[in-house]
Amino acid sequence: MTTASHTSVPDAYHGVWQRTLLETPEGRDTTTWVHWLQTGLWHGDLRVPADAHRTSPTGLAQQQGFGGTTAITWPDPALPEVCTWQRTIDFQPPRSTPDAGHMVFETPERVIETGIHGIYLEVWERLPGSVGQRIALAALNAAGEPTAERLLVSGRYLMHLRPRAATWPADTAPDDTLAEVVQRHPDAAETLLDFAIAFGVWSDNVWTIERATQPALEGRAIDCTLQRASHADALVKCHGLPHDWRVLEWHAPD
C-alpha cells in the first residue's frame, strides 16, 4: 500500500546515499560520515566529521544534519537536472542560499552532485538494501497535531530527526556556524545542541544505531516497531520516541 500527499522524487533517488567524496577549492574529504535518506518526498541527512571531538560543545557543534522535502527540477535543458533539499529543520543555523545541486547519474547506484550556489563536487553511492519500503511519519503533539519531528524508513534503514526547542539567538546571521553561535552563547550551548538525529539499520523490529548527533546512542540496539493504526495515523513502540505519529508516506511492497 502506498500513501503520500505528494510523490515528487523519481524512483532513481529513493534509498540511502553515502557520500564517498567531497571536492571543494579548499581540498578533498573522504572521511566525514555522511548519509542522506530519501523517501518519495521526504529526506533526512546526517554528517559527522571524522575529526570532530564530540566530548565538548565545540566538537558536537561541528556535526551537520537536516530534514525536509526534496524537489527535482530541470529548469535549463542544457544542464543536468537540479535536486533541491528544502530544509524544514536544520542542526546548523539558516543558510543564505538554497541547498541545491546539479545531479548526474553515472550508474543507477552512483550520482555526482555539483554545486549551483557554491563550487563543489560530491559523489554519492546508494547503500545496498536501502530501497523497497518507504515510510515517513510526523510525531503528534498532545493536541494531536503534527510536529516537525520525523521518522523516516527506506529499505532496511531508519532515521529519526527531532529538532531543538530553542530558537536561535537574536544575533545569529545567515551562514553562521553552530560552533560560532555556541562560542558566542556558551550558557545556551546545551539547548542549542539539543537536536537529535539518529541513523541505523532496522531489521526484525530492532533498530541498531550507527551514527547520531548524540554519541551516547551509537551502537545501541533498540526494540522498535511501527504499526499503521489507520489511513492517517501510526503507532511507534521505540524507546525514547513518541508513541503517536501522522502518516506522511507509507509504501510497503507486497
* pLDDT score, position 6: 52
User: Environment class of residue 135 by beta-carbon count within 10 Å: exposed (0-12), middle (13-18) or buried (19+)?
Assistant: buried
Average of per-residue pLDDT across 72-87: 96
What is the three-class DSSP state of 123? strand
Phi-psi category of residue 184: left, alpha or beta, with phi > 0 → left and psi -120 to 50 → alpha: alpha
Query: Which residue among 84, 109, 126 closes a domain?
Result: 126
Q: Answer yes or no: do 6 and 121 share one domain.
A: yes
The CA-based dihedral angle spanning residues 158, 93, 52, 124, taken in that order and rounded to the nearest 10 degrees: 50
Query: Which residue among 96, 126, 156 closes a domain?
Result: 126
Average of per-residue pLDDT across 225-238: 97
* pLDDT score, position 3: 46
Residue 10: give its domain's CATH number.
2.40.128.280
Q: What values do phi and psi take at 26, rounded to 5?
A: -85, -15
Determine the straight-line distance between the first and last CA of the chain, rounded to whole angstroms: 8
Q: Could you tell me the residue range of the domain that residue 69 belongs to?
A: 2-126
* pLDDT score, position 1: 47
Number of compact structural domains in the chain: 2
Query: Which residue among 92, 110, 126 closes a domain?
Result: 126
CA distance linking residue 85 with residue 68, whole number of Å: 7
Q: Answer yes or no: do 180 and 116 share one domain.
A: no
Question: How confident is the model over 134-172, as pLDDT tens digits?
Answer: 999 999 999 999 999 999 999 999 999 999 999 999 999
Between CA 222 and CA 21, with CA 163 as vertex, the angle to 5 degrees is: 80
Q: Answer yes or no: do 42 and 91 share one domain.
A: yes
Q: Answer yes or no: do 7 and 122 share one domain.
A: yes
Band the pLDDT of 184: cuts 50, 70, 90: very high
Question: How confident is the model over 6-16, as pLDDT tens digits?
Answer: 558 999 999 99
Q: What is the pTM of this model?
A: 0.96
pLDDT at 5 over 60: no
